[in-house]
Amino acid sequence: MGRVIIFPTDTVYGIGTQIFDIEGIERIYKIKNRPKDKPLACLCSNINQIDDIAIIDSSARVLINKFLPGALTLILESKDIVKNKIGYNTIGVRIPNSKIALNILDENGPMLTTSVNDSGEAPMNHYNEIVEKYGKLVDKIYDNDTKILEIPSTVVKIIDGKIDILREGYIKKEEIEKALNDLSCK
C-alpha cells in the first residue's frame, strides 16, 4: 500500500492513489503541501465504479450519461463505505476521457487524485518537467501520447436534489443547464 502514481487525464496530469489507500492519500497531501481540509477527487473508469462509492440521483445520472467520460466532476453524497473508510461525506467523481487514464482505473479501481502541482500553483502538464520535480517522490509517472486540454473540469455539486455549478471549466454552464432542463421537460 502507499503507492502513488502520476498519470495524464484528458484535462490535466493527475497524482493519485487507490481510493482506500490511507498511506497513499497521506503521501499525496505531503508531496503537494496540500491542506488536509481540501479533499481529493475520485477518478473512475465507468458508472459502476461511481455507483459503488456515491449516490447517483436522476440529475447526476443525466449529466453522467451526457458528459462522461469527459471534463465534468460531480460532487455527490458518499456511500457509507467512503464515509467510514476515508471520512468523506461527499465525493467528487469523474470519468476521464483518456485511454491511458481509463486503463489505469480499470486496473486499479477508483483512484483519489488531484492535479500535479504544489498546492495553490498552476497544474503541471509537461512530462519532462513533472519527472524532474516529482520523479523521486512517486512510484511511477506515465508518459502521454495524446493532447491534454489543460483546462480544468467543470465542477457541479448535486446533494439532496440541489444543483450548484461550483466551477465552470471545459464544459460551459449553459451546456449543464440545458441537459438538466431537458430532463425536467420530460
pLDDT tens digits, 101-137: 999 999 999 999 999 999 889 999 899 999 999 999 9
146 pLDDT band, cuts 50/70/90, is confident
pTM, two decimals, is 0.94
What pLDDT does 62 receive?
Answer: 95
How confident is the model at residue 72, as a pLDDT? 97
Domain CATH code at residue 144? 3.90.870.10
Return the exposure string of 128-160: e unless at least 16 CB atoms fall within 10 Å of the residue's CB, then b. Answer: eebeeebeeebeebbebeeebbeebbbbbbbee
Domain housing 139: 5-184
Q: Total structural domains in the chain?
A: 1
pLDDT digits 0-9 by tens, 22-55: 999 999 999 999 999 999 999 999 999 999 999 9
- Residue ranges of alpha helices (H) inside 56-172 are 58-67, 80-86, 99-108, 127-134
Instruction: Give the tens place of pLDDT for each residue, 63-114.
Output: 999 999 999 999 999 999 999 999 999 999 999 999 999 999 999 999 999 9
Grid cell of 47 as nine digits: 458508472
pLDDT of 186 reads 57
